[in-house]
Structure 1
Amino acid sequence: MSSTALPAETDVRPGDGALRILGLSGSLRAESFNTQALRAAAALAGPEVRLELWTDLATIPPFSEDDEAEPTEAVHRLRAAITEADALLISTPEYNGSIPGQLKNALDWASRPYGESVLTGKPVAVLGASPSQYGAAWAQGDLRKVLRASGASPIDRELCVAHADTAFGPDGLPKEAELRTGLVEMVSELAAHTRTVLNTV
């Protein structure tokens, strides 16, 4: 397992029949544990999926209804990335017991216009990484609530990456088999949910 190569920032290869999953990290930190978790998920995923990391969270401006008619280019790029993906995998830290403001802000932009947004019906899975023993459990619950309110279709599976500061080895992959299995199972369940959604559209 240690020889598994971690993916580049863009690892989607359209046309090979694989599901396209867009990974969104809710952290702006360069050495984010949540970004690390997404990279590990991409490396461990099977050939039936291709996971691309979206890394432009810091470019999204504060949401304002005054700007809805003419959103910035960064917002257009976010919406396009979500549209092109078959599903989303979001990894969130937990700040003051909930979702980071910048992540919520990006979802606010993505959720408009309500009922016709790029999030409507979009399959999503949520995980969280934190140095604490709780693994961002509260933030994950709040994030699934926000996603449902936005019209997305999140799965119920939760994955709490506790003690994230020591959870990953030098190769970027989880040290413990339990976490490796958890990431693989989450992506597999998201893929199955996505196929169900795509087959009913």
Structure 2
Amino acid sequence: MSQYQIAVIVGSLRQDSFNKKLANGIAKLVPSEFSLKQVQISDLPLYDQDDDANQADSVKRLKSEISAAQGLLFVTPEYNRSMPGVLKNAIDHASRPYGQSVWAGKPAGVIGASIGSIGTALAQQHLRNVLAYLDVATMGQPEAFIHVRDGLFDAQGNIGPSSVPFIQNWVDHYVAWIKKHVQ
């Protein structure tokens, strides 16, 4: 495949989000045949099964962008020892109505950053459990539970020089994972 379209789902809405910075930094570390696009989840209504027959335009857009992608990248913070509600809401919307999930069969990577000392370990585990049910082939190793500290990002919001080798290693494994699963 000459070009890999990757849908990036950032589980944070905050303007100065560490995870948005991480997603933007990862986009600069992938090879040129990878195109990473962050999908918007901030305008999704709360999931309600009563709306399955008449989904909002924002839900249709989300499902279309996920369907068009060859791979997925989830970049999530950890809220109260789990994934953020906005991320779970997006996952639920794109998996419904039952039998019409756009997640199934897509390869994915999961990464995240948090100020907590365990990074996003529990959020990632909960997210992996949900993705397994949705038939998303999620990269298991290496894991990256990034603890946000001084130097993780530089003054321009890029991944800092001391952090690049660790994150580049994860990105290289992710790229290989996507290539292995996309024919």
- Relative to the length of structure 2, the TM-score reads 0.91
SS at match of 2:42: helix
* CA 164–112 in structure 1, closer or farther in 2 if over 3 Å, else same: farther
Deviation at 1:162, TM superposition (A): 0.3
SS at match of 2:53: coil
SS at match of 2:28: helix
Taking the TM superposition and a 5 Å limit, the aligned residue runs for 1:64-75 are 64-75=48-59
Does structure 1 retain, via aligned residues, the 8 Å contact 2:4–2:34?
yes
Q: Which residue number corresponds to residue 22 of structure 1?
A: 7
Name the count of aligned residue pairs. 182
- Give the whole-Å Cα distance in 2 for the aligned partners of 1:36 and 1:180: 13
- Relative to the length of structure 1, the TM-score reads 0.84
Confirm or deny that 1:156 pairs with 2:148: no
Does structure 2 retain, via aligned residues, the 8 Å contact 1:93–1:99?
yes
- Give the whole-Å Cα distance in 2 for the aligned partners of 1:104 and 1:82: 15
- Give the whole-Å Cα distance in 1 for the aligned partners of 2:97 and 2:42: 22
Structure of greater relative contact order (alpha carbons < 8 Å, 6+ residues apart): 2
Does structure 2 retain, via aligned residues, the 8 Å contact 1:125–1:186?
no
- Give the whole-Å Cα distance in 2 for the aligned partners of 1:53 and 1:19: 14
Does structure 2 retain, via aligned residues, the 8 Å contact 1:123–1:190?
no
Q: CA RMSD in A?
A: 1.8
Q: Which residue number corresponds to residue 45 of structure 1?
A: 30
SS at match of 2:47: coil
Deviation at 1:193, TM superposition (A): 2.3
Instruction: In structure 2, give the amino acid aligned to 1:42.
Output: A
- Give the whole-Å Cα distance in 2 for the aligned partners of 1:164 and 1:145: 28
Q: Which residue number corresponds to residue 10 of structure 1?
A: none
> What stretches of structure 1 move > 6 A for 4+ residues in a row?
none
- Give the whole-Å Cα distance in 2 for the aligned partners of 1:165 and 1:154: 30
CA shift digits 1:142-174 (9 cap, x unpaired): 111111111211111321120256520013222
Stretches of structure 1 lacking an aligned partner (at least 5 in a row): 1-15
Instruction: In structure 1, give the amino acid aligned to 2:123.
Output: A
Question: Quick one: percent identity of the two aligned structures?
Answer: 36
- Give the whole-Å Cα distance in 2 for the aligned partners of 1:28 and 1:145: 22
* CA 123–103 in structure 1, closer or farther in 2 if over 3 Å, else same: same
Does structure 2 retain, via aligned residues, the 8 Å contact 1:79–1:118?
yes
Stretches of structure 2 lacking an aligned partner (at least 5 in a row): none
* CA 163–191 in structure 1, closer or farther in 2 if over 3 Å, else same: closer
Q: Which residue number corresponds to residue 101 of structure 2?
A: 117
